[in-house]
Amino acid sequence: MLSKALEDAINEQINKELYSAYLYLSMSAYCEAASLPGCAHWMRMQAQEEVFHAMKFFDYVNDRGGRVVLNAIDQPTPVWKSPLEMFQEVLKHERKVTGLINQLYALAVKENDYATQMELQWFITEQVEEEASTSKIAQTLERIGDSGNGLIMLDGQLGKRE
């Protein structure tokens, strides 16, 4: 059974994961409006991944005899100055999520909850991948700029994400 402290913290993380999905959907809409269908697709896939993360936490709380409590999701920003700024925000956001996962892990250690520590290992590994992929995209945009053939090529590559 989960401690009350871990149950509350994981419920908060569920909210953060759903906010992440909402943020990426907002970014997808921005990309669609900016005629960047590949970026829009990448963001939509990212949103779906964040919903998966939320549901993984949701199921874990239930499996451990806890009670999931959902709270309101904050409204994300609807507009960015450029694709580069948007992907820089994605990287910043993923780093923040990494910090939140690390805090959850520290709480699981404090609570001597080994099952939660094991569950969180998956998320820790996932965050390494999230940061690496978004960092590469942001670095590419820094090199090629926010317009021209380079952006068109990158948009095409991002549209191939499965």
Contact at 8 Å (CB) between 146 and 83?
Answer: yes
Mean pLDDT of the chain: 97
What domains, with CATH codes, occur in the chain?
4-158 (1.20.1260.10)
DSSP for 86-147, please give it: HHHHHHHHHHHHHHHHHHHHHHHHHTT-HHHHHHHHHHHHHHHHHHHHHHHHHHHHHHH-SS
Q: What percent of the chain has pLDDT over 70?
A: 100
For residues 145 and 19, the model is more confident at 19
pLDDT (average), residues 1-25: 98
